[in-house]
Chain A
Amino acid sequence: MSRLLRRLRAWPITVKVPLMVVALMVAVSAVLSNQVLQRLAETQQRHLEELTGAYLDGLSASVVPHVLREDIWEIFDQLDRTRHGYVGVRAVHTLVASVQHRVLAASDPRLYPTQQAVPAALAGRFQDGVALVQDETAGRAFIRRALSYQDRPLGWIYAEIDIQSQLAERREVLLALVLTNAALTLLFAGCGYLVVRRMIRPIDTLAEHLHRGRDGRIEAIPQSKFGARHGEFGRLFRRYNALVRALDQKEALAARLAEEEKLASLGRLASGMAHEINNPLGGMFTAIDTIERHDDDPAVRRSSLGLLKRGLIGIRDVVRATLVTYKSGAADRALRPSDLDDLRVLVRQETARRGLTLGWYNALPPDLELPAGPIRQAALNLLLNACAASPNNGPVEFCAEVAEDALVIVVADRGPGLPEDVAAILQSDGRDGAPPAEGRGLGAWMVSHLVFGLDGQVRASPRERGGTRIEIRIPLAAKGVLRDVA
């Protein structure tokens, strides 16, 4: 039942309103038809009673003298002559019986033989002194009248009246009512459908545009579709278009902010890389100078070459990490433990500059069926944010492991805590489709968006004794391909 109701509720309003009109019309017409037929039946009953009363009055007056004499011929003659003599009363059978309900004479003596008892099938119809009984199935009415003379009972008159014509009239009225009501119902339903269809056409237009918006192609409703429309729908359309324009502007702003963030990240990366390369470069030049000056000292040469080698290894690590992070195709590759370990190199410059202690725990298995790109991006963002938030010489902790069929990455710092609006963006599960308008929390929005794309969750919580703990939890059965990396 409730399922049916749910289905009915799901029907379009263009169907529901005409159906309600039809249901209403059917209900109204049923009530009216019932009333009309009831009144007609009452009127017919009254007319029948009046007509049969007059018929029996006339018949009684004419047969009483013959009943007194038990003159069965004269009784029969009267019944036979008056059978068709009354307008409006079609007597099928009439009979006159004695007080003891024995037939004196009947219009059809073969059916009701003289001196026989009135059949129970006829006499039994008149229970509790009822004088008129209708049998609509047989199309007959049965009437009975007591005969008396000088207040002494003489006998009874029974009559069987054909009421087919009255019943036919009732059937015709019913048919006319049904046909008229059906025609009116159909007409009103059709009109209702057209009117409702026309009324909700603007809603269709609006719904169509909103539906397109789900696919990221939100568009304003062209002026041609609502023209000079005033009233509710005109206002609605104009407000919708204003909303679309505002969204367009917000998206453009977000795109620009994202681009600026990207450039800023690139700058930071380039700066970090330059620093990472510059540091060993100073030592390497010193080593080269030392080799040039002490070329003949094998110990110094070996020491300088070792310094050169370590410097080059450091440079190679930085370049490799950068290549691994940003080279094309890395996004869809399965996540390996080294993908996260490489992040240490990328944040080393920041940790070194601020004197931060990076606590690192990476317990990932060799291959996880999760895309490496977005996870690295999210983890890097969190690490950079944690480094930025931590006080100088403070600790930053990183932990990655698989727990309860999910990849869990935790980044914690001892900073002043996450602002509420940024925390909200971070934990929005990507529901907030557009990036923050003012650039604040853009990194948090990107992390949230990336994790949501993998059906994951982000939870931020303050730590005891200060700081923030951010946890990413991505189910291992998550989507294998990142849908939208913004």
Chain B
Amino acid sequence: MPRLVAAGAAPSHRSAVRSYDRRRFLSGLAGAGSLTLLPGRAWAEADEVRFGLTPVFLSSDLELLAQLRDYLSTALERPVSLVMRRTYQEITALLLSGQLDAAWICGYPFIQYRARLSLLAVPVWRGKPLYQSYLIVDQGRTAADILDLRGDIHAYSDPDSNSGYLVTQAALAEEGEESVAFFRKSFFTYSHRNVVRAVASGLAESGSVDGYVWEVMSEIEPALTGRTRVLRKSEWLGFPPVACAKGLAETPVAAAISAALTTMGDDPLGRAALDMLRLDGFAPGAPALFDGIAQKYDLVRSLG
């Protein structure tokens, strides 16, 4: 189990981030030989750090994005561009192709591309770098088990989401069911919040959603989550991590981003962003955190 709380190590990382400058960054980058790996990036000409975000959290909150960008810009002493796309796949592709310096992705693509990605930090929620996947249904529905959802119109979050897709696929596989036949119809909303909206409105009869998102929404939008009921919670799984392309893992920018994230709670701007995210902070994390996801991935792949 990795050390989860990064706050204790913050001062040293923080000083490292502060002392980081462009010359050292470029020399380090050149020393790592990254330029050959990242044909799309001309580091010598770019001051900006490009940070990818998936709709893993409440991506529509512009104030949160502004807080996050301000903090990262301050911590990295460079302009930061937050890059958002509609799907996980797009962000993963950008990350793998070197068009992003780092991205907050989901555990599922991290496992899918674990050979090509390096872990920079893992969010800590309620004291642990873990979260759950929720299977939600309408508040008034009497279903007691996942098998009661047979014939539903089901809402997934994203085909590359662990909590919003993989966990349910694996649960059905464990029950010997195939999702295509099990559900009457399924669709993707490309946002955990939208899964909650779909189930709450009645568009979908059940949905697969990130437990962390559902819990945060229940504080922010209780009227919406109040129209849904959690039918099933998965086991605790590795929280969606911040990762970078393997080729950039040893670069100063990766180290700086990792340091900036793990010391986020020490800075007022960072603390404010964390508060909005309802997170305790970020920890360095370890790939073993995502073993549970890897097992589910293997299970689903094994069934075809």
Interface residues in chain A, defined as those with a beta carbon under 8 Å from any beta carbon in chain B: 71-73, 76-77, 80, 105, 108-110, 113-115
Contacts and interface: CB of A to CB of B under 8 A. Distances in A.
B153 A73 contact: no
A108 B189 contact: no
A286 to B, nearest CB: 150
A73 B202 contact: no
Contacts of A109: 201-203
Given A73-B155, A73-B194, A108 B202 contact: yes
A6 to B, nearest CB: 72
Contact of A110 (B184, B198, B202): B202
B153 A71 contact: no
Contacts of A72: 185, 187, 203
Across chains A and B, which 3 residue pairs bring their CB atoms closest together, nearest first?
A110-B202, A109-B202, A109-B203
A80 B194 contact: no
B185 A73 contact: no
A159 B188 CA distance: 25
Contacts of B184: 115
Contacts of A76: 198, 201, 203
Contact of B153 (A80, A110, A115): A115
Contacts of B202: 108-110, 113
Contacts of A114: 153, 185, 203
Interface in B134-148: none
A71, A80, A109: residue with the most chain B Cβ atoms closer than 10 Å: A109
A71 B188 CA distance: 8
Given A114-B153, A115-B184, A73 B201 contact: no
Most-contacted residue by chain B among A73, A105, A108, A110 (CB, 10 A): A73
Contacts of A113: 202
Interface string B151-174: 001010000000000000000000
14 contacts: A72-B203, A73-B155, A73-B187, A73-B203, A76-B198, A76-B201, A76-B203, A105-B203, A108-B202, A109-B202, A109-B203, A113-B202, A114-B185, A114-B203
Nearest to A76: B203
Chain B interface mostly: mixed
A109 B188 CA distance: 16
Contacts of B189: 73, 77
Given A73-B189, A113-B202, 14 more contacts: A72-B187, A73-B155, A73-B188, A73-B190, A73-B194, A73-B203, A76-B203, A77-B189, A77-B194, A108-B202, A110-B201, A110-B202, A114-B185, A115-B153
A235 B198 CA distance: 94
Contacts of B194: 73, 77
B185 A115 contact: yes
A80 B201 contact: yes
Interface in B229-272: none
A113 B189 CA distance: 17
Contact of B201 (A71, A108, A115): A108
Contacts of A110: 201-202
A71 B189 CA distance: 9
A73 B158 CA distance: 12
Contacts of A71: 187
B293 to A, nearest CB: 24
Interface in B185-201: 185, 187-190, 194, 197-198, 201
A464 to B, nearest CB: 118
Contacts of B197: 80
From B187, B188, B194, name the one whose CB has the most chain A CB atoms within 10 angstroms: B187
A113 B201 CA distance: 10
Contacts of B198: 73, 76
A105 B202 CA distance: 10
Contacts of B187: 71-73
B56 to A, nearest CB: 18
A17 B225 CA distance: 73
A114 B184 CA distance: 11
B155, B194, B201, B203 interface centre (most CB from chain A within 10 Å): B203
A71 B190 CA distance: 11
Contacts of B203: 72-73, 76, 105, 109, 114
Contacts of B153: 114-115
B89 to A, nearest CB: 16
B209 to A, nearest CB: 13
Interface in B15-58: none
B241 to A, nearest CB: 27
Contacts of B201: 76, 80, 108-110
A77 B190 CA distance: 12
Contacts of B185: 72, 114-115
B108 to A, nearest CB: 20
A65 to B, nearest CB: 13
Nearest to B155: A73
Nearest to A105: B203
A106 to B, nearest CB: 8
Contacts of B190: 73
Nearest to B185: A115
A73 B190 CA distance: 9
B8 to A, nearest CB: 43
| Interface hub of B155, B185, B194, B201 (most chain A Cβ within 10 A) | B201
A115 to B, nearest CB: 7
Nearest to A115: B185
Nearest to B184: A115
A368 B267 CA distance: 141
Nearest to A112: B202
Interface centre among A71, A80, A114, A115 (most CB of B within 10 A): A114
A80 B201 CA distance: 10
Contacts of A105: 203
A291 to B, nearest CB: 153
A69 to B, nearest CB: 10
B90 to A, nearest CB: 16
Contacts of A115: 153, 184-185
A108 B198 CA distance: 11
A109 B207 CA distance: 15
A27 B296 CA distance: 83
A76 B204 CA distance: 11
Nearest to B156: A73
A108 B190 CA distance: 20
A486 B273 CA distance: 126
A76 B189 CA distance: 10
Contacts of A77: 189, 194
A113 B194 CA distance: 18
Interface string B197-223: 110011100000000000000000000
